[in-house]
Amino acid sequence: MIDLTGRVALVTGAAGGIGAGITAAFLAAGATVVAAWHTRPPAEPPGSAAGDGRWLAVPADLTAPDGPDHLVSAAVGRFGRLDALVNNAARQDLEPLATMTDDQFRAMLDTNLVAVHRLTQRAVPELARTGGSVVTIASIEAATPAPAHAHYAVSKAAVVMQAKAAALEYGPQGVRVNTVSPGLVDRPGLAADWPEGVERWERAAPLRRLGTPADVGAACVFLCSPLASWITGTDLTVDGGVSVNPHW
């Protein structure tokens, strides 16, 4: 069991399914979590995490000029340190390339890429004080796009390279930066909404199942733990093996 007792993690997009899974994984490892949200607040975690002061929900718009500073200041102001940043907040609008507007393309990049760069940049001085690390949630679509997902796939490919560049430049400060690329992660109602897609995925994945938010959370905890102390600039694929299945 990884023990992150005494460490503070900032998780963005904490109200979503994957964000909740990441938050739960850090809390289970003993960490304190600052759960950042924008459109709706996250549910209070079960158990004693909220009651014993190991959980704090903070609203922020990461595309606003003061969003990153607000989040980092809230974390350090409340808990006195920052050990991990998980850039999970993202959008995934659907639009074919033929009808995609400049505003749609730009909005995707602003949330999925520019906000990640700005929050990472703001967090690094605090992470450098604790030997902390950054994990950004990318996607297997960074390598293999899906129809009507072009702007999303581009943004995720970009954050993989952003993390590699950040690992190079922030490494001398003792800060590690990695990405996690999930495959299809289950959510309530997914099988009913997209039965043929779920069936295709389960048939294609060697492990024969969809991912869970807990799977993604476990990968993030590992990369932010001492077990990964010599891992930086890498992309950890968490997809049940679907990426190794031949596409032809």
Spot the catalytic one: 37, 55, 79, 152.
Answer: 152
Q: How far is CA 144 from CA 120, 147, 177, 206, 243, in A?
A: 26, 10, 22, 18, 9
Residue among 43, 42, 44, 79 at smallest CA distance from 59: 42
Beta strands in 163-220 (DSSP E): 176-182
Question: Which distant-in-sequence residues (6+ apart) come within 8 Å of 58 by Cβ?
Answer: 34, 35, 36, 37, 70, 71, 74, 75
Rounded (5°) CA angle 181-184-187: 120
Q: What is the DSSP letter of 240?
A: T
User: What tokens appear for 20 in the block?
Assistant: 């909740």
Residue among 53, 54, 50, 19 at smallest CA distance from 37: 19
How far, in Å, CA of 177 to CA of 169, rounded? 10
Known catalytic membership, residue 170: no
User: What tokens appear for 248 in the block?
Assistant: 């032809």
Residue tagged 């800060």 (tokens): 175
Active site residues: 152
